[in-house]
Chain A
C-alpha cells in the first residue's frame, strides 16, 4: 500500500489493447523475440501502465539496448491484472530475469533478488534521492533501482474554493469543514476512495499526526496520536460529505473531472488528465496535518527495477539495468515525463525537466522531498492487512479504536518476530 497501483486505470480502450495484446502474444510468443544470433535473451516484466505510449516506450528501450548490444535480446512481458501476485508467484519457480516491483525484506530473505550495490557508485548514489535508496535497502545492501517516483495530492479547483470562501485546507479540521461546505446537491465534498479512505489514508493519517509504523525492529503505531488521526476519519465518514461508490477508485481522476466531488486525493500521475479538464484552475496540497502538532504528508510511491537472483543471466541482467535505469538519462526522462507525469528519482532530471516547471508539478517535487513518506521493506503485506482490518472494524463496525489498534500492533509484532526468526 506504499505502492498505490497508480498507473493502471483500466479504460475500455486499455482493456481492448490488453486483450488484443494477449491474443497477439499467444500467437507470436509474447513481445519482441530476440534478434537472430543473440547469445542471451533476458526476460523483463512490467505491470500494465495505463498511460498511452508506455508499452511502445519500453519496447523501444529494449530494441535500443539490443541495437547497442547485439548479443543480448530483451523479451518484454507487459502484465495486465494483479501484477504483484503474478510476479510473486512466478518468482517462486524461476521468474523473469529483470522485473519492476516494490522490494520487501521477505524477497531478500527468500533469495529472490540480487544485490545491486556495485551499480551505485558514490556519484550515482549522490544523484538519487536518499529516500529512493532507502526504500530499496535491506540489511545495508541495495536491491533495486527506482524507476519513477509517485506522489499523491489533494486536488481542488481554485475557482470553487474562492467562490465558497475557503482557503486550501492545512489541517484535518479545516479539510472536514471544507468538505462539508463544498457538498452541494449531488456533488460531494471529498473523494478519498470507495472504502471511505481506509486504503488511501491508512498510513498517511498516522504520519500526519507525527506517528510512524515500523522503526528499527519495533512496531510503533499503537499510540494516542494514531488513534486521534483515525478518529478524524470516522468523523469524515459520518459527515456525509464523502463520495462513496464512484465508478473508479481514488487513483483515477474521473470522479473529480466529472464533477462528482469537489476535492479528491489522487496522484500526480493524474495531473495531465485533470489539467486537460480544468486548465489552470487547479491547485494541490499534500495531505493536511492532523493539527498544529502534526505535519503535512504525502506518500512516496512508484516502481523499482530489480534483478532475479535465481535467473540464469544475472550479470547480463545487471548490465541491462545499469544501462537503462542508471546510464540512459534521456530514456529515464522520457519514461517519467512523457506519458503520465511522475517525478524522476534522479535529482538532476527534476530540475532540468520542462514538464515539471508548472506550479502544480513544482509543488509536487518539493512536497515529495519534504513530506514524502514510505513504509520500510520490513513492513509486509500481512501487517497492512492487520492494520486495515483494525481501521475497518473501528470505522465501520463501531469497535473501539484503542483496542483494535492494540490488537493490530500485537499481530504486527508477532508477524515481525516470525519473519525474523
Chain B
C-alpha cells in the first residue's frame, strides 16, 4: 500500500520531466539520427535512406574540415586565455577587501549581456572600419590610418575582435566560479605556508592556490572547451552578413555556423543532422582526452 503510494508519487513528480526529456530531447535526437541517414532536402521526412553518404560528403568537404580546424585553433587560443584571465581577475577581486562585492558585481555584469547585442557593439561601435569607430578613433589620435578590423584576412584583425568579445562576455562568469573556489581554500593553509617561509607570490600560487583549485579549474576548463566548440553567436553576428549575404563569415566559420547554413539556408536537413553528430563526437572525444590529462571524473586521489 505504502509502496504503491510512493510509486504513484514518484511518477507524479517525474512524469513531466521524463515526458519533456522524451519529447524535446530523445525523440529529436533519434529523429535527427534517422535524418542524418536520409536525403532530406527541403523536407524533414525520413525515408529516402542513403546510408552514410551525408557523413562521407561532409568528411570530404574541405570547407567543413576547415571549419573543424578553425574551431580547434580558436579553442586552443581562447580556452587558456579565458582561464588565465578569469583566474587572475578572481584573485585580484578576492584581495580587494571591502571592494570585493563591488568588483565582483561589475565584472560579472557582462555575462548577463546578450551575445548578439555585444557582437553588434563590437562590430559597429568599437571595431567599425570607418575612422569614427572607437578603435580607429584612438589610432587616429596617434596619426594611424583607419584599419578595416573585420573585412581583411591579412593581417587577420578579425580574431582580435572575436576573441575580445568572447573574453568580455565570459570572463566574469568563470571569475565567479573561481572566486567561489578561492573562498573555499582554508586560510589556515596560507598561514601554514607563511610560517613555512613561502610568503606571497609564485610559491603560494604554485603550491597552495592552484592545487586547491584543482576541481574548480577542471570544471572551468571543461565548460570553457565545450563553449568554445559550440561557438556561434559572435562569429555569426560579427562576421556574418545580412539578408542573403554571407558577409565575411568565410574568413572564420565555426562548424555550427556552417551546419546552420547547410540545414537552414540550403535546407539540407540530412547533411545538417549528420554534421551535428560529427561535431558531438568531436566534443565528446576532446572532453575525454582532456579528462584523461587532468583526471576529471576519476575518484578524488
Question: Chain A residues in contact with chain B, CB under 8 A?
Answer: 1, 3-6, 8, 10, 82, 84-85, 88-89, 91-93, 106-107, 109-110, 112, 186, 193-196, 198-200, 243-247, 249, 251, 260, 380-382, 385-386, 388-389, 392-393, 396-398, 407, 411, 418-419, 421
Chain B residues with CB under 8 Å of A106's CB are 41-42, 267
Whether B47 is near chain A, meaning CB under 8 Å from some CB there, is: no
Interface size class of B (residues with CB under 8 A): 35 or more
B251→A392 contact, CB < 8 A:
yes
- Give the shortest distance, in Å, between A392 (CB) and chain B (any CB): 4
Chain B residues with CB under 8 Å of A88's CB are 42, 264, 267
Chain B 236-270, CB-CB to A under 8 Å as 1, else 0, gives 00000111111110110000000001101111100
B42, B128, B251: which has the most chain A beta carbons within 10 Å?
A: B42
A5→B41 contact, CB < 8 A:
no
A3, A4, A91, A92: which has the most chain B beta carbons within 10 Å?
A: A92
Whether B164 is near chain A, meaning CB under 8 Å from some CB there, is: no
Chain A residues with CB under 8 Å of B264's CB are 85, 88-89
Chain A residues with CB under 8 Å of B267's CB are 88, 106, 381
Q: Knowing that A199-B245, A381-B261 are A-B contacts, what are 11 other residue pairs whose CB atoms are under 8 Å apart, sorted by A's residue number?
A: A3-B244, A88-B264, A195-B248, A195-B250, A196-B152, A199-B247, A243-B129, A244-B150, A251-B243, A260-B130, A385-B261
A89, A199, A386: which has the most chain B beta carbons within 10 Å?
A: A199
B151→A195 contact, CB < 8 A:
yes
Chain B 137-154, CB-CB to A under 8 Å as 1, else 0, gives 000000000101111111
A5, B131: Cα distance in complex, Å: 27
Chain A residues with CB under 8 Å of B152's CB are 196, 244, 396
Whether A92 touches B43, Cβ cut-off 8 Å, given contacts A244-B151, A245-B128, A247-B130, is: yes
- Give the shortest distance, in Å, between B63 (CB) and chain A (any CB): 5
B130→A110 contact, CB < 8 A:
no
- Give the shortest distance, in Å, between B253 (CB) and chain A (any CB): 9
A5→B149 contact, CB < 8 A:
no
Whether B44 is near chain A, meaning CB under 8 Å from some CB there, is: yes
Whether A195 touches B245, Cβ cut-off 8 Å, given contacts A85-B265, A245-B130, A245-B133, is: yes
Whether B114 is near chain A, meaning CB under 8 Å from some CB there, is: no
A381→B128 contact, CB < 8 A:
no
A245, B63: Cα distance in complex, Å: 25
Chain A residues with CB under 8 Å of B246's CB are 195, 199, 385, 388
Question: Chain B residues in contact with chain A, CB under 8 A?
Answer: 39, 41-44, 61-63, 124, 127-131, 133, 146, 148-154, 241-248, 250-251, 261-262, 264-268
A91, B44: Cα distance in complex, Å: 11
Q: Which residue of A has the minimal Cβ distance to B247?
A: A195
Chain A residues with CB under 8 Å of B131's CB are 186
Whether A5 touches B129, Cβ cut-off 8 Å, given contacts A244-B151, A245-B149, is: no
Task: Pick the contact of B268: A198, A382, A396 (CB < 8 A).
Answer: A382
Task: Pick the contact of B150: A186, A194, A260, A382 (CB < 8 A).
Answer: A194
Could you pull out 18 A-B pairs where Cβ atoms are within 8 angstroms?
Answer: A4-B244, A92-B43, A193-B241, A194-B150, A195-B241, A195-B248, A196-B151, A199-B241, A244-B151, A246-B129, A249-B242, A381-B265, A385-B265, A386-B63, A392-B250, A396-B154, A396-B251, A418-B39
